[in-house]
Amino acid sequence: MHPVEIKKDVFWVGAVDYTSRDFHGYSLSPQGTTYNTYLVKDEKTVLFDTVKSNFIDTMLCRMSNVTELEKVDYIVCNHLEPDHSGCLPKLVELCKPEKIFCSPLGKRSMQAHYNTEGWPIEVVKTGDSINIGSRDIQFIETRMLHWPDSMVSYIPQDKLLICNDIFGQNISTTERFVDEVERAVVEHDMVEYYHNIVLPFSPLVLKTLEAIEEMGIEIDMLAPDHGLIFRGKEDVQWCFDKYREFAEQAWKKRAVIIYDTMWHSTEKMARSVAEGLESEGVPVRIMSLKSDHHSAVMTELGRSSAVIFGSPTHNNGILPEVAKMLTYMKGLRPQNRIGGAFGSFGWSGECVKALTESLTEMGFEMPVDGVKNQFVPTHDAYKKCYEMGAEIAKALKEKCGE
């Protein structure tokens, strides 16, 4: 278990989790994730975060190739979620650190998760710094990115920002750096991670990016707690630009149709809605909730500004998978979206009303009335679906300035 030196005397000593398939409720299939831990050797040796508890042996093995465990002087806990702090009790026992640094809310979280009696906890806030020899560590609180306890650690001498869950991706790979992996793969995983975890906190992302810019700190490496490390000013700037783009949620000329179906009638209607969107030059992806995980849908939503839902009527409402998708999406609070609704029914026909109410409650603009059809769609029903798709496309293009 070899460490990776990412800067002089700064080492990655984390773990790669190739088998995990669930992360905060979204699917990691077909790959897992990484738990990144960093160790800095100076006059004081400092460990930043830990790994998920079942990977402690991997982390300890990598650490032992850098230093003796009892020579770890400080532990910095940027974030107390168990995938980053799960090994903390064992490390405190083995390393007997002089100090454990965390944010004010980090201390509360630490005490809630673990028996911290006798631990040398020291609370730090934005603007606080410590010296470890030839280096300083500056602390910046980043509350709700994505937990209230979150903070980042900046080492000016190395131009290094150790940034916990911000700027991460779920990638399980032997490569450690962004420039070692195909850029399209990295971008996809950033879109997925952002829109399934960070999206509700987009206003705070913009404030954080603005604060970093105003502070005038120079960064040529971003070291997140999940995924690949950004090295070099160009890649760091690319990452910042992508996060700004995600957070601003600017209008995009692309649509996604999300549906479930009982006897294929709603599925057939979805295809006609897609034809209408295509007729106006709007690219569209159709996603069936029988085959597409809700996290994959959110990833696609990250690229789309028109979001159209279809469901048959079921027990005077909508199908369970559609209801689950709407609940998941509501919690992530997407902004700047146009919506649409369609569906078939047998007897009572509440599906479109239920879908429209849910999307309206989320703040979606609904430029056209939904389309519902009793039993198997007729030519007239297909025509209405096509027209609805075309009208949504026109409304979207207007939002995009076309």
The H-or-E segment that residue 9 falls in is none
Residue spans of beta strands (DSSP E) within 46-135: 46-48, 74-76, 99-102, 121-123, 129-131
How far apart are the C-alpha atoms of 308 and 257, rounded to whole Å? Answer: 5
Active site annotation includes 386: no
Active site annotation includes 195: no
Longest pairwise C-alpha distance within the chain: 77
Say which of 35, 193, 194, 386 is annotated catalytic: 193
Using DSSP, state whether 391 is helix, strand or coil.
helix
Say which of 84, 146, 195, 314 is annotated catalytic: 146
Q: Specify the DSSP class assigned to residue 197.
A: I
Say which of 226, 259, 260, 300 is annotated catalytic: 226
Active site annotation includes 226: yes
How far apart are the C-alpha atoms of 63 and 210, rounded to whole Å? Answer: 35
Q: Specify the DSSP class assigned to residue 177.
A: B
Say which of 165, 225, 280, 300 is annotated catalytic: 165
Tally Cβ neighbours within 10 Å of residue 249. 16
Say which of 17, 81, 141, 225 is annotated catalytic: 81
How far apart are the C-alpha atoms of 359 and 350, rounded to whole Å? Answer: 15
The H-or-E segment that residue 288 falls in is strand 284-288
Say which of 9, 24, 128, 278 is annotated catalytic: 24
Say which of 83, 235, 260, 292 is annotated catalytic: 83
Active site annotation includes 165: yes
Which residue, among 152, 141, 147, 137, has the nearest Cα to 110 in the 3D structure?
147
Say which of 26, 79, 195, 235 is annotated catalytic: 79
Active site annotation includes 79: yes
Residues classed as catalytic: 24, 79, 81, 83, 146, 165, 193, 226
